[in-house]
């Protein structure tokens, strides 16, 4: 009878029909979620380092576990490591069927060996611990003025960005965040974004730890792991970029400078860098052209100010917008401006005095202020009005 029919277990065919019906009902919701992912939330600054396509935020919650990522329009997913930094190395992206292959593994091992001095040493926890405990201070012997005087000159040079009230400032090769924390506390980008970029996971974690210890708002921190020779940023999206004690440690310097030129705003984008000239320390010599520097990629000590100037011009910076000067025995101060205005020379000491009082007030009053949270990614590299400035030495890691 009917009661027996009710007690009979459903057939395999019936179960399949029920499952199909449930999947059919779920499809619209899944489509809505997908449409929401690729709607109005693309990042106006960041882009996929592989193809330059837009990046979008992705957040998922599994029980008490929250996972975040940045996903490109092409479906490549870049992880947010432990909620601390976004890993935007091209090799860190994963797409459908994009697992680790023996060929890719061999390529990464070869790259790591070839750049073991320039990039891999900065990934060691020991150097992360020592960087502000004596490592950076020894640069004074080469002529580096010290972080406070360097910040004064950087902030004066980036003044047009601060004046516009909202900009993107990037600290490339941020190291332990020595300059990044000052740029963020001083609100050099106004109400815009201040990004810290480095190749080293250790340095990015140290940057975050020190920034929070200093009292900077967690929501204001934007930390990116990336390679300066393959920047995950849109064309013309950055207003100002700083690279402190970094150029000498980039394995592919020429490509890195070209990438910086690409991402800077064409009508006034600014680049400030410090690095080493030959003679900075007794016995230092320049590496071979092209930053190959045998023996695992030794650091590059530049022959002269003119060599650095020509490297920037070859990367696309206008000749009248580039200036390089020597400080002390072997510190080079590099300034470059796109779109006309000359970079200007001046000494750090001269720039420091008028800025010190203003910078101190800004840093004291705005440390706890939160920057607008990052949106995430960008369209396929069309020019943008936004920009970022940030810091640190390596293939994308290094100094500050």
**pLDDT: is 223 or 133 the higher one?**
223
Question: Is residue 137 very low, low, confident or very high in pLDDT (cuts 50, 70, 90)?
Answer: confident
pLDDT of residue 126: 56
pLDDT of residue 275: 96
* pLDDT per position as a tens digit, 67-99: 899 999 999 999 999 889 999 999 999 875 455
CA distance 142 to 162: 30
Of 7-11, 254-258, 270-274, 282-286, the one with minimum mean pLDDT is: 7-11
pLDDT of residue 359: 38
* pLDDT per position as a tens digit, 14-50: 544 444 444 444 444 444 444 444 444 899 999 999 9
By DSSP bridging, strand 322-327 and strand 389-392 are unpaired
Which value, to the nearest 10 degrees, does the dihedral of the CA atoms of residues 278, 281, 282, 286 take? -30
Query: Where are any strands of DSSP class E within the chain?
Result: 55-62, 65-72, 77-81, 85-87, 168-173, 193-198, 222-225, 240-243, 270-276, 322-327, 331-337, 389-392
What integer is the mean pLDDT of 108-121?
49
pLDDT of residue 189: 78
Average pLDDT, the chain: 75
Question: Is residue 149 very low, low, confident or very high in pLDDT (cuts 50, 70, 90)?
Answer: very high
Q: Residues of the chain with pLDDT > 90: what percent? A: 50
* pLDDT per position as a tens digit, 179-197: 999 999 998 878 899 999 9
Task: Locate 358 and state its tokens.
Answer: 């203003």
């Amino acid at each position: 009878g009917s009661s027996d029919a009710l007690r009979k277990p459903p057939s395999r065919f019936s179960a399949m029909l029920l499952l199909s019906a449930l999947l059919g009902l779920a499809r619209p919701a899944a489509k809505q979620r997908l449409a929401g992912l690729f709607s109005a939330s693309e990042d106006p600054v960041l882009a996929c380092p592989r193809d330059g396509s837009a990046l979008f935020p992705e957040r998922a919650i599994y029980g008490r576990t929250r996972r975040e990522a940045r996903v490109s329009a092409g479906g490549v997913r870049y992880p947010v490591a432990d909620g601390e930094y976004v890993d935007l190395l091209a090799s860190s992206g994963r797409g459908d069927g994009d697992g680790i292959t023996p060929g890719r593994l061999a390529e990464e091992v070869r790259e790591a060996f070839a750049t073991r001095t320039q990039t891999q040493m900065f990934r060691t926890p020991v150097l992360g611990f020592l960087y502000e405990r004596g490592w950076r201070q020894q640069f004074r012997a080469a002529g580096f003025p010290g972080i406070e005087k360097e910040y004064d000159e950087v902030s004066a040079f980036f003044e047009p960005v601060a004046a516009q009230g909202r900009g993107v400032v990037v600290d490339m090769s941020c190291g332990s965040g020595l300059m990044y924390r000052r740029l963020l506390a001083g609100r050099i980008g106004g109400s815009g974004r201040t990004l810290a970029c480095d190749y080293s996971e250790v340095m990015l974690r140290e940057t975050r730890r020190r920034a929070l210890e200093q009292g900077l708002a967690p929501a204001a921190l934007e930390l990116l792991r990336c390679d300066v020779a393959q920047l995950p940023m849109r064309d013309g999206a950055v207003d100002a970029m700083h690279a402190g004690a970094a150029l000498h440690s980039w394995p592919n310097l020429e490509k890195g400078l070209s990438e910086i030129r690409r991402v800077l705003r064409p009508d006034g984008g600014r680049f400030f860098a410090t690095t080493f000239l030959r003679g900075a320390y007794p016995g230092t010599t320049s590496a071979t052209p092209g930053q190959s520097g045998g023996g695992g990629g030794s650091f590059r000590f530049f022959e002269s100010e003119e060599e650095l100037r020509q490297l920037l011009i070859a990367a696309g910076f206008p000749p009248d917008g580039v200036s390089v000067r020597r400080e002390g025995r072997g510190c080079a101060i590099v300034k470059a401006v796109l779109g006309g205005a000359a970079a200007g020379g001046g000494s750090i000491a001269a720039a420091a005095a008028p800025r010190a009082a203003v910078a101190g007030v800004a840093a004291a009053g705005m440390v706890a202020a939160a920057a607008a949270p990052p949106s995430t990614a960008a369209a396929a590299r069309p020019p943008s009005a936004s920009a970022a400035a940030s810091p640190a030495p390596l293939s994308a890691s290094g100094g500050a």
